Structure 1
Amino acid sequence: MATRREQLLDSAITVLGERGIHALSHRAVDTQAGLPAGSTSNHFRTRDALLDAVVERFAAREQALWNELAMSMYPTTPLDLARVLVAAARTATGPQRTLMLARYAILVEAGIHPAVRAQLLATGARVNAWFMTRLRAAGSSDPERDAPIIMNHWTGVVLHDLAIPDPAFDPTDQITTLVTTVIRPLSAEVPS
């Protein structure tokens, strides 16, 4: 069961994902959470403190989603990893649409506010380390090169469908082609 703090942060994520960054206020979060006025400000004195905590909560929820997918479909080949990324894209544009829209609202805010940018870099480093591990397990010989190529493309594919929803959204071909082309498996050493 979520704590009161987590309930408030999840409500803040909903406000961000459904109404955008300008709608994020203590009052809007209180209303979304169905709690008395002042509940959010008791936990987060300023809007900046609220936004900082939202970034942490968002990162934790996003990483939990990735972990759940990866553990249920443990990727050990590029094709396996592509399947995880396709499933993640479908989840991001479907049942977790609001969470992902909040993610993009936070990314835009980071472009304007250095403090948010610094926090995203810190939380992003944890997600990147996690993804590098998945890349290695899938056979990447150069995860530092492969990770930004694959994840930046994935981010764009998801953003495009969030902005212009397509009822027939199916990123399978493009994600599979990208991942299986980009990942260069470790080659077996040739005896001399």
Structure 2
Amino acid sequence: MAGRREVVLDAGIEVVGLQGIRALTHRAVDAVAGLPAGSTSNLFRTSGALLDAIVVRFAERERANAEAMFAGATPRTAGDLAGVLVAFAHDATGPNRALTLARYAILVEAGIRPALRDQLGATGANVNAWFRAWLLLAGSADPERDGPIIMNHWTGIVLHELARPAPKFDPASQIHTLLTSLIGR
């Protein structure tokens, strides 16, 4: 069972993801969390402290989701890795839509707040290392080059789906084509 801090931070992610960064207030988080007024401000005295903690929490949740989703996956070909990324795109635009929207809102905010850039860079470094390892397994000759190309394309596909949901979202063809053109096999 989640403690009060996690409940508050998850509610903060929900506020940011569904209402935008400007809606992030202590009062809004209390309301979404179903807690008495003042509960969030007792844990996080400033909105900056709240946002910093939300960034850490959403990174924890994304990592936990990815680990649960891909437990035991060992993509040994471009096709295998494409399948993993397609499943992840469906998860990011479906069950974890609010979490993904929060990530994009925070990325935009990082363009304004340099401290967030540093924080996102630190959490992103772990994801990048994990993805480079998968690229090597799948046969990439240059994971340093291929990783950003693939993930930037994936990010764009997901962003477009979040902004303009398609009745039958299916990124498989694009992702498979990109990976096989970069990696081969």
Q: Same fold (TM over 0.5)?
A: yes
Which shows bigger deviation, 112-121 or 73-82?
73-82
CA distance in 2, matches of 1:76, 1:32: 42
Q: Tell me what 2:42 maps to.
A: 42
Partner of 2:148: 148
Say yes or no: does 1:99 pair with 2:111.
no
Which residue is equivalent to 2:74? 74
Distance 2:28 2:10 in 1: 12
Q: Which amino acid aligns with 2:98?
A: T
Q: Which has the larger radius of gyration?
A: 1
Match for residue 54 of structure 1?
54
With normalisation by structure 1, the TM-score equals 0.93
Counterpart position of 1:189:
none
Asked whether the equivalents of residues 12 and 54 of structure 1 are also in contact (C-alpha less than 8 Å), the reply is yes
* CA deviations over 1:12-40 (Å, ceiling 9, x no partner): 00001110000001110011000011111
Post-superposition offset of 1:184:
5.3
- Do structure 1's residue 83 and structure 2's residue 83 form an aligned pair? yes
How many residues are paired up? 185
SS in 2 for 1:112: coil
Instruction: Provide Cα deviations, 1:81-134, integer angstroms capped at 9, x if missing partner.
Output: 100000000111111111111111001000111111111111111111111111
Name segments (4+ residues, structure 1) moved above 6 Å: none
Specify the code of the residue in structure 1 equivalent to 2:168: A
- Alpha-carbon distance in structure 1 between the residues aligned to 2:43 and 2:67: 28
Identity %: 65
Structure 2: runs of 5+ lacking an equivalent: none
Whether the 8 Å CA contact 1:93–1:162 is kept in 2: the answer is yes
Q: Secondary structure at the match of 1:144?
A: helix
8 Å Cα contact 1:142-1:184 kept in structure 2: no
Match of 1:159 in 2: 159
CA distance in 1, matches of 2:161, 2:180: 22
TM-score by length of 2: 0.96
Structure 1 unaligned regions, length at least 5: 186-192
